C-alpha cells in the first residue's frame, strides 16, 4: 500500500541526561509506552541540546507510529540520501540495468593498419578496472589491428561535463569520496572507487626518498614525491593531497624501513583522460600502436570493435550501499536523466528521482535533493519521509536485493556489515538491523529495518543535525538496540541501554579514526 503520512505526533524531550539512564520510578509503563519512555531517555543526552533530533519508528503491519519526534522537520540526511537514490534508480532503470562501454572505429576498412580513429565510448560504468580495459584492448588486437593512423578519442558525451555536485565543499575535491563524475572513468579497486588512483608509498633505505607508485599506472596526474624513508620500527606518517584545481599530487611525510607500503587515494581531475591513458597502455601491451589521444564523439555508422557490460544494478547495490560509495549514487542520478529524459545531467536525473520517489509515496513538497549521495549539505529530507520509503519499498519486486545490500549491524564481513560492521555487535541488533548510515560534520543518520523481540519488523529513521559535541552515533545505536529488544504489548522499560564501544580501524594498521565527520568507508575504515 502506498502511504503518505502527515505530521506525526510529537513527544516532549527531557534534556540533560546521558544514553545510560534508569527508568523513572512509580508505576511502570508497558507496551509502546515503555518503548517511548526509553527512547525519550536516550534522546535526553546533553550532546543533543540545541540540535535537531528527528526520530520516527513505525510498524508497517499496522501503520502504528510507535515513536515520533520532529518527524516532519527537514534536515540534512548525509548518506541516508542514498536510500532515496538507490530506490529511485531501481524504479527508473530496473535491477538488471547495466552500463556499457564500447570501442568503435570510423575507419572504412579493418586490417593491420587502421586509417581512421579509435573511439572509447562510456555510459557511466563505475566498475571499469584496468583489467577490463586490458580485455577491451585484447578484443581490438584480436581483430588484427596493429597500427592506428588516427588517434584514440574518448566519448563521454552520454553525461554532461559537470564533474562535481552542487554544494560540494571545495576542500573535499582531492579526496576519493568526492571524485569527479564522468561517463568514462577508471576504478582502481573492486570497491569501484571510480575516478581515483591508489598512491602506494614504499620505504627504501633510511634517509632516502620513498618509492611512490600509482595503481593503475597513469600519467594524467603528476606525483611530486617529497616523502622520505625513516628509521625502522616507527609509524608511517604520510600525506597524499592533490592540489586544488590541478593534477599535481603532493606526497609528503615518512615511511619506516621495513614497513608495509602505505596506501592512500587521490582523485583524478580528468576521468575520461584517465581512461584513455589506461586503455592506450593496454593497447600497447597487446601490440596495437596509436598516435595520440584526444576527445571526440562516435560518428553515426561507426564500426564496433569491442564492448563490455557492467554487473547489473542489483549487484552494484552491494558496494554502493554497504560502503556508502558516493560516486555510484551520482552516476545513477545522471544515468536516470539520460535514460528517461535524454539528458545525462544532475538536473534531469533529479527530476526523474523525484518523480519515482513520488510513486513510492514520498512527498516531493518536503524533499530537496541536489545530488544523489548526500555529500551536499543542501539536501533536505524528513525522517517521516524516509520511513515512508522504507515501508513502501517492501512491496516492490526489487526489495529483497535492496534490503540485502543495506549494511547489517555487527557483521564483520565487510561486504555484509559494511558501514555497520563495527557497531552494535553482541546486542539484539547484531545481524538484525539492516540500515543505511550517514555522516557529515554535525550530521549523523541511521534509517532502516529492525526485527523486534516479538518478531515484528519495524521501520525507523534517526536523523541528528547541528550537534557541536562528539558524534552521537552511540545514540543511534541505542535506539536501534532498544527497538530490537522491543516485546510488543508485553514490553517493559529497560532503563539502561548497553551500547558496545565502536571504534573504526582504517586500512593502515594501528590507525584509528573518529567517525564523527565522515562515513567510515570514506576513510577506508570499513
Catalytic residues: 79, 82, 324
Number of H helices, E strands in the chain: 11, 21
SS3 178: helix
Prior bond of 216 cis (ω within 30°):
yes
Distance CA(169)–CA(178), nearest Å, equals 9
Strand, coil or helix: what is 477?
helix
Instruction: Write the CA distances from 13 to 66, 280, 286, 405, 468, integer angstroms.
Output: 16, 62, 67, 34, 18
User: Strand, helix or coil at 305?
Assistant: strand
The number of residues making up the chain comes to 526
Residue 277's nearest CA partner among 130, 126, 114 is 130
Give residues with Cβ within 8 angstroms of 387, minimum separation 6: 56, 57, 58, 447, 459, 460, 461
Closest CA to 320 of 434, 463, 419: 419
Residue 417 DSSP SS3: helix
SS3 62: coil
Burial of 325 (0-12, 13-18, 19+ CB in 10 A): buried
Task: Retrieve residue 190's grid coordinates.
Answer: 573492486
Report DSSP state, residue 264.
Answer: E
- Residue 172, C-beta contacts closer than 8 angstroms, at least 6 positions apart: 178, 375
CA distances from 153 to 103, 118, 123, 366 (A): 10, 6, 15, 44
Pull the grid cell for residue 198.
591508489
Q: Is 292 left (phi over 0), alpha (psi -120 to 50) or beta?
A: left
Q: Give the span between the Cα atoms of 270 and 510, in whole angstroms.
A: 34
Amino acid at each position: 500500500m502506498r502511504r503518505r503520512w502527515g505530521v506525526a505526533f510529537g513527544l516532549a524531550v527531557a534534556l540533560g541526561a546521558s544514553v545510560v539512564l534508569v527508568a523513572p520510578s512509580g508505576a511502570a509503563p508497558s507496551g509502546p509506552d515503555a518503548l517511548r519512555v526509553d527512547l525519550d531517555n536516550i534522546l535526553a543526552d546533553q550532546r543533543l541540546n540545541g540540535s535537531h533530533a528527528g526520530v520516527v519508528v513505525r510498524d508497517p503491519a499496522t501503520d502504528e507510529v510507535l515513536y515520533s519526534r520532529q518527524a516532519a522537520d527537514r534536515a540534512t540526511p548525509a548518506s541516508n540520501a542514498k536510500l532515496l537514490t538507490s530506490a529511485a534508480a531501481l524504479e527508473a532503470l530496473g535491477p538488471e540495468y547495466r552500463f556499457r562501454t564500447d570501442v568503435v572505429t570510423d575507419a572504412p576498412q579493418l586490417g593491420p593498419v587502421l586509417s581512421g580513429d579509435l573511439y572509447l565510448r562510456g555510459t557511466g560504468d563505475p566498475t571499469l578496472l584496468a583489467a577490463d580495459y586490458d580485455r577491451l584492448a585484447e578484443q581490438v588486437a584480436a581483430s588484427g589491428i596493429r597500427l592506428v593512423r588516427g588517434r584514440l578519442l574518448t566519448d563521454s558525451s552520454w553525461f554532461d561535463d559537470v564533474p562535481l555536485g552542487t554544494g560540494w565543499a571545495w576542500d573535499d575535491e582531492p579526496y576519493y569520496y568526492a571524485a569527479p563524475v564522468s561517463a568514462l572513468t577508471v576504478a582502481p579497486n573492486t570497491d569501484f572507487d571510480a575516478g581515483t588512483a591508489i598512491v602506494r608509498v614504499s620505504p627504501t633505505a633510511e634517509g632516502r626518498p620513498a618509492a611512490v607508485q600509482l595503481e593503475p599506472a597513469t600519467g594524467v596526474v603528476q606525483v611530486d614525491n617529497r616523502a622520505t624513508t625513516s628509521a625502522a620500527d616507527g609509524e608511517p606518517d604520510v600525506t597524499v593531497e592533490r592540489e586544488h584545481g590541478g593534477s599535481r599530487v603532493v606526497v609528503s611525510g615518512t615511511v619506516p624501513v621495513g614497513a608495509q607500503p602505505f596506501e592512500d587515494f587521490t582523485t583524478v581531475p580528468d576521468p575520461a583522460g584517465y581512461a584513455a591513458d589506461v586503455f592506450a597502455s593496454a593497447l600497447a601491451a597487446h601490440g596495437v600502436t596509436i598516435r595520440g589521444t584526444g576527445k571526440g564523439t562516435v560518428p553515426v555508422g561507426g564500426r564496433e570493435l569491442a564492448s563490455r557490460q557492467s554487473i547489473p544494478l542489483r549487484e552494484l547495490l552491494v558496494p554502493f550501499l554497504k560502503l556508502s560509495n558516493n560516486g555510484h549514487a551520482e552516476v545513477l542520478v545522471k544515468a536516470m536523466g539520460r535514460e528517461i529524459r535524454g539528458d545525462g545531467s544532475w538536473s534531469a536525473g533529479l527530476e526523474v528521482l523525484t518523480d519515482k520517489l513520488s510513486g513510492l509515496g514520498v512527498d516531493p513538497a518536503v524533499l530537496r535533493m541536489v545530488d544523489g549521495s548526500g555529500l551536499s549539505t543542501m539536501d533536505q529530507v524528513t525522517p517521516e519521509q524516509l520511513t515512508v520509503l522504507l515501508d513502501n519499498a517492501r512491496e516492490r519486486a526489487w526489495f529483497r536485493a535492496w534490503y540485502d545490500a543495506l549494511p547489517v549491524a555487527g557483521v564483520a564481513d565487510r561486504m555484509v556489515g559494511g558501514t555497520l560492521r563495527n557497531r552494535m555487535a553482541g546486542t539484539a541488533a547484531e545481524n538484525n538491523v539492516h540500515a543505511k548510515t550517514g555522516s557529515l560534520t554535525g550530521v549523523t543518520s541511521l534509517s532502516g529495518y529492525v526485527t523486534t523481540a516479538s518478531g515484528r519488523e519495524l521501520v525507523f529513521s534517526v536523523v541528528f543535525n547541528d550537534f557541536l559535541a562528539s558524534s552521537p552515533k552511540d545514540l543511534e545505536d541505542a535506539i536501534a538496540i532498544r527497538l530490537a529488544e522491543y516485546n510488543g504489548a508485553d514490553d517493559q522499560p529497560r532503563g539502561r541501554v548497553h551500547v558496545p564501544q565502536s571504534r573504526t580501524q582504517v586500512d593502515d594498521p594501528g590507525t584509528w579514526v573518529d567517525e564523527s565527520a565522515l562515513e567510515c568507508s570514506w576513510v577506508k575504515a570499513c
